[in-house]
Structure 1
Amino acid sequence: MTDAPVHEEAHGGGLGSRLNWLRAAVLGANDGVVSTAGLVVGVAGATESHAALLTAGLAGLLAGSMSMAAGEYVSVSTQRDSEKAALATEKRELREQPEEELDELTELLSARGLSADVAREAAEQLTERDALRAHARVELGIDPDELTNPWHAAAASFLAFTAGALLPLLAIVLPPASVRLWVTVLSVLAALALTGWWSARLGAAPTRPAILRNMGGGALAMAVTYGAGSLLDMAGV
């Protein structure tokens, strides 16, 4: 059956870390494409100045990439702090009340379908091997060896946003003025279709909804900003 490889991959080791990288990369790339495209298309609706388009695109790329990196760093740092605090609390409880923690681990394993005797034996063996790791994984859903890394997430977001933003920037400044708008729109829609497909495949999710969401959001953003730029141009602003 075709679902088997996806099922096995989704339950492989390091899934949480891989999905965290995927989330940061896809969000960064999509935001880079859509926000920069919206910016340069909006400016294109108001002026045909090559310098204005290049300036707006570069400013959007730099501001957006730094903003994404800073946001990811703060967000993931908070998550990491929470994980470390939870592990510290669990370590203290294991030291101060080991029997209660053993009973708790037994109950958690029983709740997952093990019989009482088997759950108790498993809890004792896991506790003897590494009590903190056992409670971290079973009780907290945390792998002590794979805590989220804010620097990795920030770097992934920065690079992904920059890569995504370069496409509409180059598409709006390189072609002749007569076709630059259509080249940009088509390039952006193609890129959003690709990132939608990529994110869905790596996340073992249906590809069609992801592609349509990405393309629809990008098309709406460009239409709104181009309309706003055209109105400003007609108003002589």
Structure 2
Amino acid sequence: MNNNETKIQTFISIFVLILYFNFNANYLFCRDKKDMQVNVLYIMIIGKKILNHDSLPSTNSFAAHLLKHNDPEEGTVIQAGYQTKGRGQGDKKWNSDKNNNLLISIILFPELIRPDEHNLINIFVSLGICDYLDLYFPGSRIKKPNDIYYGKDKMAGILIENSIIDDRIKNSIVGIGLNVNQTNFPADLPNPTSQKIVTGDTYDLDDCLRCLLAALDARYKFVLYGDRFLLEEEYSRRLIQQEP
């Protein structure tokens, strides 16, 4: 390894340590709700700008509209208290009570991720959600292709829509539906659960959003600048093994 390669590797190592430090600072905020003042010592990508809406047809559709008609900055988050046409994977719908859960979409411009590496987006988002849930209870798992489970029950869903041009991902819309305070679900949903069902506690959605975005932001920076192999290994350990 020559001097330039050594310098680059050293820079990356230091940068990754900074990422972990900043995530831990937000982690401590989430652990101790009494201390509501935490200095943010780094520039967030995910969550730097949040657009709040009482209701939208779909946060992913609104994000796509912004990309077509505006010039949103990377990491812009669209949050809705309710979705009238919430979308899941394929033709599935995403059902959620009003103002009880987190319904968000994130706009990304992941230029350092090649189209053939697009699964890294799913990996960092899945791990970020698990990091967030670990703040409240350990043991969340990932079920392919896009679900987060606690035990045998579904806690969250992910919908990622990539726009690929030639050899690059032009933009990515990351939709997340996370069940927080909802306790009653439609009968046709086979196995839903929520943070409140698991713990019995009612959560402040603003606090939950801040903690979730901090976890996602740290994971995104790691996938851009850190060791992606480590992320893939951790993702594999979190996976629910499918029955043959």
TM class by shorter chain equals under 0.3
Which protein has the bigger strand share? 2
Q: Which has the higher contact order (CA 8 A, sep 6+)?
A: 1
Which protein has the bigger helix share? 1
TM-score, length-normalised on structure 2? 0.26
TM-score, length-normalised on structure 1? 0.27
